[in-house]
Amino acid sequence: MKEIRVLLADDEPVIIRGLKKLISWEKLGTTIVGEASDGLELKQQIEEHNPDLIISDISMPGYTGIDIIREIHQAGRSVKVIFISAYQEFTYARQALQYGALDYLVKPVNKNQLEQVVSKAVSLIRQETEGERNKEKLNHYEQRNHRLTIEELLDKLTDGNMGTADTSMRSERTWDLE
């Protein structure tokens, strides 16, 4: 099973150290692939590591967490975002949720709260990944089946085995190909 790649971002180094030690990331099937101390560094880390999950302070120098999640949302990326903040302002939380944040945790973050929301994120990411794999398989089978049907019809045409019943089927199939 694929490990979930996590980025941590906060302009207070003590918060990042605390997040890293607060829960057992490995037991949750996650790996911390990067850390950022401001919004500019977070943008760079996102491009470099292509994370599945970002846990970020909402208010940082450079770009705010809202700026980052807005860009993620507009780009159509499937990155999950959890915000942590010392601010209990409703407008921040509302904006975060508007752009698809999974949760908005208020500092100090407790262990159970963080484990629950990270577990929820991991579950969602795994479901989406499985869904995408199933779509790819279905597409592959549909294309293969379509190609085989065309080849069978062409074989019948070249062998002269197309009867009157097959002719009506052929004209219907021709419409499918257009």
pLDDT in tens, 87-112: 777 777 788 888 889 999 988 889 99
pLDDT of residue 95: 84
pLDDT of residue 142: 66
Is residue 35 within 8 A of residue 9, CB to CB? The reply is: yes
Taking only the tens place, the pLDDT of each residue in 112-166 is: 999 999 999 999 999 887 756 656 666 666 666 666 677 676 777 777 665 544 4
Checking if the pLDDT of 10 tops 90, the result is yes
Task: Quote the tokens at residue 113.
Answer: 């709260």
Q: Distance between CA atoms of 84 and 23, rounded to whole angstroms?
A: 15
Task: Quote the tokens at residue 51.
Answer: 């994370």
Taking only the tens place, the pLDDT of each residue in 41-72 is: 999 999 999 999 999 999 899 999 999 999 99
Q: What is the DSSP string of 9-58?
A: E-S-HHHHHHHHHHS-TTTTTEEEEEEESSHHHHHHHHHHH--SEEEEES
* Average pLDDT in the chain: 83
- The CA-based dihedral angle spanning residues 74, 75, 79, 83, taken in that order and rounded to the nearest 10 degrees: -40
Kindly tell me the burial class for residue 7, based on how many C-beta atoms sit within 10 Å of its own C-beta (0-12, 13-18, 19 or more).
buried
- The CA-based dihedral angle spanning residues 170, 174, 176, 178, taken in that order and rounded to the nearest 10 degrees: 180
Task: Quote the tokens at residue 88.
Answer: 């209990």
Q: Domains in the chain, start-ordered, CATH in brackets?
A: 4-132 (3.40.50.2300), 134-177 (no CATH)
pLDDT of residue 177: 46
Question: In which residue are the tokens 């100090």 written?
Answer: 108
pLDDT of residue 92: 77
Is residue 125 within 8 A of residue 54, CB to CB? The reply is: no
Higher pLDDT, residue 97 or 167: 97
- In sequence order, what are the beta bridge partners of 85? 106
Is residue 85 within 8 A of residue 106, CB to CB? The reply is: yes
Q: Rounded to 5, what percent of the chain is helix, strand, coil?
A: 60, 15, 25
Amino acid at 6: V
